[in-house]
């Protein structure tokens, strides 16, 4: 399997790793088939993502896509962050092998799950903003915070 230089760089030197203790948006997603788990932490102030961190348990591609996703939306508005797609993550990494494309989907879902959590904490329905109101199958029984909140 051949990875681009950007994938290798984000795997070897991931950006924005860790937790945000006072995060106001947290999302966790997992893929039962490959075992990857991603958790995103957002600190949003004045509708702007001031800080974002992640913790990922998974393969090199999962770590690289998590890292790139954080880089793509840090400093952006919530509305801009909601537009993040797995395709944008893949393009920013100069591509991924087909068997690893699911990692970019997880990165997109983790960001969206954190944004959904942010809206719920504001007393708003994430569906009003085009986001899932709960896991809606993204976690498939992983027991994440979003799933527990809506079970």
Per residue in 69-89, pLDDT (tens digit) is 999 999 999 999 999 999 999
Please say if 139 is a catalytic residue. Answer: no
DSSP annotation of 17: B
- Catalytic position from the list 103, 138, 139, 144: 103
Residue 46 has pLDDT above 60, yes or no: yes
CA distance 94 to 98: 13
Residue 133: predicted pLDDT: 53
Query: Smallest Cα–Cα separation from 112: which of 86, 143, 94, 90?
Result: 86
Ranking 61-75, 84-98, 101-115, 121-135 by mean pLDDT, the lowest is 121-135
Q: Which domain holds residue 144?
A: 5-149
CATH number where 107 lies = 3.90.1010.10
Residue 36 has pLDDT above 70, yes or no: yes
- What crossing angle do the helices spanning 60-73 and 5-12 adopt, rounded to 10°? 90
| Total tally of structural domains belonging to the chain | 1
Please say if 34 is a catalytic residue. Answer: yes
pLDDT, average across residues 44-55: 97
């Amino acid at each position: 399997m051949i990875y681009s230089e950007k994938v290798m760089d984000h795997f070897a030197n991931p950006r924005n790793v860790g937790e945000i203790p006072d995060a106001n948006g947290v999302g966790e997603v997992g893929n039962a088939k490959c075992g990857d788990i991603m958790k995103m932490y957002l600190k949003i102030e004045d509708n702007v993502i001031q800080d974002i961190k992640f913790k990922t348990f998974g393969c090199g591609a999962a770590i690289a896509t998590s890292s790139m996703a954080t880089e793509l939306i840090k400093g952006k508005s919530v509305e801009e962050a909601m537009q993040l797609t797995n395709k944008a993550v893949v393009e920013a990494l100069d591509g991924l092998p087909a068997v690893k494309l699911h990692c970019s989907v997880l990165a997109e879902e983790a960001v969206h799950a954190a944004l959904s959590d942010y809206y719920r904490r504001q007393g708003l329905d994430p569906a009003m903003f085009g986001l899932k109101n709960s896991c809606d199958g993204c976690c498939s029984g992983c027991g994440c915070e979003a799933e527990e909140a809506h079970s």
